Structures are given as C-alpha cells and as structure tokens.
C-alpha cells in the first residue's frame, strides 16, 4: 500500500494567506524632494506589514513570499492599496512603487496596474513610477527588458532603486535606460566628509544629467549630506533629514524646507 506523506502547513504561508485575505499590509509614505523647489516630485510608498510576530519588516515578508512563490499576489495587493491612497493626496506628485524584477517581468503586470489605476478617478499612468528593486534576482531577462520597454511606451516612469548597492549595478542602468536613478544611501552616507565619495557621486550626476535621467539621493540624514549632494549636482533627495516616512499620504507637506543653511531636526 502506498503511504502519503502529510505536509505540515508552513506557518509563514498561512500568515501570508491571512494577510491577503484580511488585509494586513500597511504603508508609509516618504517624499522625494525636488531640491530646486522644495516640493515633493514624488512620494515613495513603503510597505509596512502590520506586525503579528512572524514578519517584523517588509524585507522578511517579501523574502518569505518569494520562497513560497507568493510574490505576485502580495506585490499586487501592496501596489493596489498604494495606488488607492493617491486619491487622498491633493497635489500632483508621482507615486513611486517598489516592484521586484520577477513581478515586473510577468505578462499580467501592465493589466494589473491599469486595473488599479482605473479604480482611481483622474489618475494617469504618468503619475506612477515603477522602482525596480533588487532582492535576490540579478539577471536582466528578455522578459524584463520587454516589459520595461512596454511600460515606458505606455507612459509609466521607470526608476532603478538602490543604485550602488548589491546587484543594482551599471549593466542594469545600461539595459533598462530608466527615467530615474535612486542612489543607495550607502553611497551618500557622510559624503560631506569623504572627497572620494563626492567625486563618484559627481560623476554619476554628470552622467545622469547628460542622459536626461533624474537623480535621487536616498537616505539623507544630515544638513551636511544635503548640502554636499546638492553641490555635486544631485537634484532630488529623500531621507529622514527631509521627511520621515508618514502613515498617511495626506500628511506629506506640499513644500519641504530644504534651502541651504536651514537646519531641521531629524525627528
Ligand atoms: O530600498 P528602498 O530604497 O526602497 O528602501 C527604503 C527604506 O529606507 C525604507 O524602509 C525607509 O524607511 C528607509 N529610509 C528612508 N529614509 C532613510 C534615511 O534617511 N535613513 C535610513 N537609515 N533609512 C531610511
Ligand atoms: Mn525604493
């Protein structure tokens, strides 16, 4: 007689299913500031799982979803809820959404985005920027390349996240030709005290400007870092020194003071 081995249900799978069923995906919103005006050029939606002990941060959650092949439904839900909040933001900043390369490559991706957009009156594709994030998968597949071309042709913005960290390297920029580059915070940390770092970021800023790519410095934590990135030619910035991620998109200020010499307290 054949014996069937019973598989124990994975507790993380059970929890992911519950999150999808009952909603347990919170979000926080952090502005990407245009340093020439102080206005948010965009707002990044950051996924924040409502903690139940199994997942304490978004990284854990998405790692488990990847392992359990549940990345698609989870990212779909994260994007849908982020897009829905845009109705509560009365200004015209773009919404930046983190998407993994596997999900962007999926044939259903564009349709799923359009469906979420159609539920939001007056929202157009050019208000959305897809931040291609880097988790484990570093290959640029033909499917990813095709989908990115398609998204650009349809009017969506494309950003490459965490440039300078891990796998978000030069070949990714070359292959995908994004509208936005987001410099990883490791590259800008204490840039004011490090001439080597300044030279590297200045070179990237020159490249970005020559290619009409908008450059964002992530993770700005001090006035000195802010002044230095501005000095070397970075036009957009994000970080605790400018604004912490906020639970409610409507609380993101319409103008963020970022004039040189004005000191803000990092809350
Ligand atoms: O990978 P990505 O750039 O999307 O990650 C953004 C993460 O960085 C979020 O979790 C956000 O809360 C965090 N973050 C945003 N601004 C800062 C900052 O100034 N310093 C640090 N250490 N983390 C930040
Ligand atoms: Mn990001």
Q: Tens digit of pLDDT for each residue in 86-145?
A: 877 777 889 999 999 999 999 999 999 999 898 888 889 999 999 998 766 567 899 999
User: Which of 230 and 15 is assigned the larger pLDDT?
Assistant: 230
For the Cβ of 134 lying below 6 angstroms from any atom of ligand 1, the answer is no
Mean local confidence (pLDDT), 247-266: 76
Residue of the nearest CA to atom 1 in ligand 1? 162
- Calpha distance 22→16 (Å, rounded): 10
Mean local confidence (pLDDT), 23-36: 91
CA gyration radius, the chain: 19
Residue of the nearest CA to atom 6 in ligand 1? 46
**Ligand with the closest atom to the CA of 160:** 2
DSSP output for 219-253: ---SHHHHHHHHHTT--EE-STTT---BS-GGGS-
Checking if the pLDDT of 27 tops 50, the result is yes
What is the tens place of the pLDDT at every residue in 35-66? 999 999 999 999 988 766 788 888 888 989 99
Mean local confidence (pLDDT), 78-91: 82
For the Cβ of 98 lying below 6 angstroms from any atom of ligand 1, the answer is yes
Structure confidence at residue 165 as a pLDDT band (50, 70, 90): confident
pLDDT, mean over the chain = 89
Beta strands in the chain (DSSP E): 25-34, 40-49, 94-99, 128-132, 157-163, 180-183, 214-217, 236-237
Checking if the pLDDT of 3 tops 80, the result is no
Structure confidence at residue 216 as a pLDDT band (50, 70, 90): very high
**Residue 266: per-residue pLDDT:** 42
SS3 40: strand
Burial of 51 (0-12, 13-18, 19+ CB in 10 A): exposed
Q: Report the predicted TM-score, pTM, of the whole model to 2 decimal places.
A: 0.90
């Amino acid at each position: 007689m054949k014996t069937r081995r019973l598989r124990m249900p994975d507790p993380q799978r059970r929890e992911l299913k519950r999150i999808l069923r009952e909603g347990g995906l919170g979000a926080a919103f952090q502005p990407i500031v245009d340093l020439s005006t102080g206005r948010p050029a965009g707002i990044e939606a950051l996924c924040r799982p409502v903690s139940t002990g199994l997942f304490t941060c978004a990284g854990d959650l998405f790692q488990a979803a990847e392992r359990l092949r549940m990345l698609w439904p989870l990212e779909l839900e994260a994007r849908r809820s982020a897009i829905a909040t845009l109705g509560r933001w009365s200004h015209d900043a773009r919404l930046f959404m983190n998407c993994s390369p596997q999900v962007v490559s999926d044939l259903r991706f564009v349709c799923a985005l359009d469906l979420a957009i159609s539920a939001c009156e007056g929202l157009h594709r050019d208000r959305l920027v897809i931040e291609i994030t880097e988790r484990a998968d570093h290959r640029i597949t033909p499917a990813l390349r095709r989908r990115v071309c398609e998204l650009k042709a349809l009017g969506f913005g494309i950003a490459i996240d965490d440039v300078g960290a891990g796998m978000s390297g030069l070949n990714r920029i070359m292959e995908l030709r994004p509208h936005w580059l987001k410099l990883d915070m490791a590259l800008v940390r204490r840039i004011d005290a490090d001439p080597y770092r300044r030279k590297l970021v200045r070179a990237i800023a020159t490249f970005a400007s020559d290619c009409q790519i908008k450059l964002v410095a992530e993770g700005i934590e001090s006035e000195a870092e802010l002044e230095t990135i501005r000095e070397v030619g970075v036009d957009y910035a994000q970080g605790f020194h400018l604004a912490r991620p906020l639970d409610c998109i409507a609380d993101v200020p319409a103008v963020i003071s970022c004039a040189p010499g004005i000191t803000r307290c990092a809350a």
